[in-house]
Structure 1
């Protein structure tokens, strides 16, 4: 910055390179500790017991499908429960934005796994919405099944992630999360959290003068996502 130039923007303090490296290494200790804790959490997750599920039937693009067949031959299945509000043109922007990230899921084939969306919306409406917003994931409907409610995503309820394991035709539920627990599956927040100004949401702990706005204010709307990724003639 030129000596005669005075910035009015909120900025981190400017220090010499040695001081910066010292501060970075102090932060790195906490970051590595968090990584090790996440490893320990994952190890505990792998040791969770599981619960056997009934033989549910969902609705897919080609008609009724048993839950065991939603695995498409894989032994492991990740299900995102997409919020659905009857009669609404634009569904939950959080769910729409989160699932729009997943365009290349073939890597899961190497782990004998699949990742799909299940919603309470009727399958025809769900598939039309998928096309409208440019979603690339497989969609299924639980509108005529208790499956959604049984995995903590009832009609009118919130979003969530469940993981299932299949042994033959028997399906087991192994893990569930919702709320901010879903953040670990997104690449957006980890990238944004690296930025000096972070998410810029008013609940976050930031230095005085940092830009902040109401939570969700910077999130794209479902209509915005459709304009970016969707089909003009869904």
Structure 2
């Protein structure tokens, strides 16, 4: 939970006209950023793709081909959840990130699906899914080179990959990791419009703004389990 200091400074108080003028200046930059993001998305849609072999992963009911993860759809988003063998609670960033996604039915209209793949054995992965109240389908790549080939090897970091299915052939179309994941979240955009923002030391803020270590405001995995797991209200 957050351990940031209480603020000792606040935004300056101005008249409405001054506030509107500065908001308009900011809005011009926001609109320029939106247009740039549109252009980036267009370039992403024009990326070439790489044909993949016929990987076999493990699902709740046993071995499953990569093409079957699409569940009949043409597009697939895979989040590679970090996994540390023997850990009671897995990565808090991954656990918190995936806990956001409780209503993914809207992807059906776009012929798409979103699933989780992890290096953990399927029994442990499914138990953890239940423990933290995760809603997405989980698959294991513990006995497959799929995770490593998709830049999420055993002991590695999180990643996100996107795939396209044409018949029974699967192609890799996009990949990101690190802060590239942020644009696929609703938490950071909401926090970033707050006056004090993320309250982390690396941010450019006014003197006296509340700041603390990076990630200090993030839920621990145990918090996610308490809020959304089987014993949650």
TM-score range, shorter chain: over 0.9
RMSD after superposition: 1.0
Task: Please name the residue that 2:11 is paired with.
Answer: 12
Q: Is the 8 A contact 2:117 2:140 kept in 1?
A: yes
**Is 1:102 the equivalent of 2:98?**
no
Partner of 1:58, secondary structure, is strand
TM-score by length of 2: 0.96
**Is 1:59 the equivalent of 2:24?**
no
Partner of 1:231, secondary structure, is coil
1:10: how far off?
1.4
1:9: how far off?
3.6
Task: Please name the residue that 1:203 is paired with.
Answer: 202
Q: How does 1:146-225 map to 2 (within 5 A)?
A: 146-225=145-224
Task: Please name the residue that 1:92 is paired with.
Answer: 91
Mapped partners of 2:173, 2:32: distance in 1: 26
Cα deviation 1:11-61 (Å, max 9, x = unaligned): 100000000000000000000000000000000000000000000001111
TM-score by length of 1: 0.95
Cα deviation 1:209-234 (Å, max 9, x = unaligned): 1000000111000001000000139x
Mapped partners of 2:229, 2:9: distance in 1: 37
Task: Please name the residue that 1:132 is paired with.
Answer: 131
Partner of 1:88, secondary structure, is coil
Task: Please name the residue that 1:38 is paired with.
Answer: 37
Mapped partners of 1:62, 1:185: distance in 2: 29
Task: Please name the residue that 1:142 is paired with.
Answer: 141
Q: Give the total of aligned pairs.
A: 226
Mapped partners of 1:142, 1:160: distance in 2: 14
Cα deviation 1:99-121 (Å, max 9, x = unaligned): 00000000000000000000000
1:133: how far off?
0.3
Task: Please name the residue that 1:5 is paired with.
Answer: none
Mapped partners of 1:24, 1:160: distance in 2: 36
In structure 2, list runs of 5 or more residues that go unmatched.
Answer: 1-6
Mapped partners of 1:131, 1:53: distance in 2: 31
**Higher RCO (CA 8 Å, separation ≥ 6 residues):** 2
Mapped partners of 2:65, 2:136: distance in 1: 18
Task: Please name the residue that 1:81 is paired with.
Answer: 80
Partner of 2:102, secondary structure, is coil
